[in-house]
Amino acid sequence: MSVTITPPRERECELCGRTERWDDDRDGWQIADEPGEVYCIHEWDINGSFTPIEASESS
> Would you list the domain boundaries of the chain?
2-48
- Which residues, in sequence order, are bridge partners of residue 50? none
16, 42 Cβ separation under 8 angstroms: yes
Residue 36 is predicted with a pLDDT of 85
pTM over 0.75? The answer is: no
Residue 45 is predicted with a pLDDT of 83
Residue 34 is predicted with a pLDDT of 84
In sequence order, what are the residues at sequence separation of 6 or more whose Cβ sits closer than 8 angstroms to the Cβ of residue 10?
19, 20, 21, 22, 32
Residue 29 is predicted with a pLDDT of 92
Q: Tens of pLDDT along the chain (59 residues)?
A: 687 777 788 999 999 999 999 999 998 999 998 888 889 999 988 776 666 677 676 65
